[in-house]
Amino acid sequence: MRKVTPKPGAARISTDEWWKEAGRHSGRLARATLHPVRSVPLAFLAVILLGTGLLTLPISRTATGDDAGLPALFTSVSAVCVTGLITVDTPSYWTPFGHVVILGLIQVGGFGIMTLATLLSLLVRKTIGLRGQLVAQTETHTLNFGDVRSVLFRVARIMLTVEAVTALVLAGRFWIAYDADAGTALWHGTFHAISAFNNAGFALYSDNLMGFASDPWIIVPICLAVITGGLGFPVLIALYKDGFRPKAWSVHLRLTIYGTIGLLMLGAVLFGTFEWNRDETIGQMPAGGKVLAVFAGTVFPRTAGFNTIDYGVAAPETLMVTNILMFIGGGSAGTAAASKSPLSFSWPSPFGTKSADASTSP
């Protein structure tokens, strides 16, 4: 049988064409991957994997020899996505290094990974490219193209201010009332302030915030930070820029502010009605403690994930109200999740098709 040998020229041309085709496909893949809309979820995935890797390190865990892969992955996802769900006891399972990792994931996830990267680029390079502006617009949902630079700095200023004030109040209380040394008090204050503003719900106590249910110096600052973060960055920027002038507010701003107030009042009434006299939850507290627990009970379910009562023994009606509040969630482009309160208060209009939750320029 005669052996057929391919011509050298034909083989060379075929190989060249293959590499050219591969190059074209890789270029398309790169363009698709680096598209601003796709960059955000890919960045979240990258940070989740990085957080998982850090939490699997022995320095992050108090226990040795156990399989830390799944708890690390779940905790990393929960922290980056600021859900507050846990499968292990945060204060006892993770070391201080692990707590720092979790706190970093919360801050990055709440502020926005690509938004944070763009802000850091601005600080270092003093400029921002077209792709960076498009990515920041995609992640924050409400920025005008020409306002990206100024809005990013406003968002960072608001975030850091609220977190710093909350941390100082909490640290002072931990130091004065709970005999914590200055370093521990400052660390606990900082951790819970960042967790509160970013609506993460992580706490450094096994019972979350149940041990502080009657302490207004702990619960009130955390609740205010939760509400502020849950309003959404566009709302905070609009209030920062225009102040409290309801007549000048946009539809989105009105829906968010009035919807938040309405939900807080309705949730408080329902929570108090169902739990006020139940000894399993708040029935044995003094009147002031009950009022504080009711306030926390209407703030935390919507966005934060903290708790000051044991929901395992709460009334079924309370659980139903809690589920509804969790489903509604917080404001658009904020640190909270769920269906978003402006959308929940939007109704179809016969005069147009624009959504009331549409982006508005601050």
Classify residue 214 by burial, with Cβ atoms within 10 Å: 0-12, 13-18, 19+.
middle
User: Other C-beta atoms within 10 Å of 10: how many?
Assistant: 9
Evaluate whether 112 touches 142 at the Cβ level (below 8 Å). no
Among the listed residues 247, 264, 258, 246, the one whose alpha carbon sits nearest the alpha carbon of residue 345: 258
Which among 3-12, 73-82, 247-256 has the top mean pLDDT? 73-82
Which of 97-101, 137-141, 257-261 shows the lowest mean pLDDT across its residues?
Answer: 137-141
3-class DSSP state of 94: strand
**H or E stretch covering 287:** helix 287-303
Q: How confident is the model at residue 362 (pLDDT cuts 50, 70, 90)?
A: very low
- For the chain, how long is the longest CA-to-CA vector? 101
Q: What is the mean pLDDT of residues 195-207?
A: 94
Going through the chain in order, the beta strands assigned E by DSSP cover none
Residue 353's pLDDT is 36
- Quick one: angle between helices 36-55 and 113-125, nearest 10? 100
Give the whole-angstrom CA distance, residue 224 versus residue 331: 15
Going through 215-305 in order, the beta strands assigned E by DSSP cover none
Q: Model-level pTM greater than 0.75?
A: yes
Give the whole-angstrom CA distance, residue 197 versus residue 224: 8
Tell me the per-residue pLDDT of 268-310, one tens digit each, with 9 for 90 and over: 999 999 999 999 999 999 999 999 999 999 999 987 889 999 9
Transcribe 192-207 into DSSP letters.
HHHHHHTT----SSTT
Give the whole-angstrom CA distance, residue 270 versus residue 288: 17
Task: Report the percentage of the chain scoring pLDDT > 90.
Answer: 48
Among the listed residues 157, 76, 196, the one whose alpha carbon sits nearest the alpha carbon of residue 68: 76
Tokens of 24: 């074209």
Give the whole-angstrom CA distance, residue 286 versus residue 283: 8
Tell me the per-residue pLDDT of 92-109, one tens digit each, with 9 for 90 and over: 999 999 999 999 999 988
Tell me the per-residue pLDDT of 314-353, one tens digit each, with 9 for 90 and over: 999 999 999 999 888 766 555 554 445 554 444 443 333 3
Place of tokens 């200023």: 157
**H or E stretch covering 9:** helix 8-33
Tokens of 54: 């850090």
Q: What is the CA radius of gyration of the chain?
A: 25
Give the whole-angstrom CA distance, residue 51 versus residue 41: 15
User: Distance from first CA to last CA of the chain, Å, rounded?
Assistant: 81
Give the whole-angstrom CA distance, residue 200 versus residue 186: 19
* DSSP class of 88: S
Tell me the per-residue pLDDT of 161-182, one tens digit each, with 9 for 90 and over: 999 999 999 999 999 999 899 9
Q: Provide the CB-side half-sphere exposure for 257 (13 A, CA).
A: 16
Tokens of 42: 């890919």
Amino acid identity, residue 362?
A: P
Whether the predicted pLDDT of 48 surpasses 60 = yes
Evaluate whether 250 touches 360 at the Cβ level (below 8 Å). yes
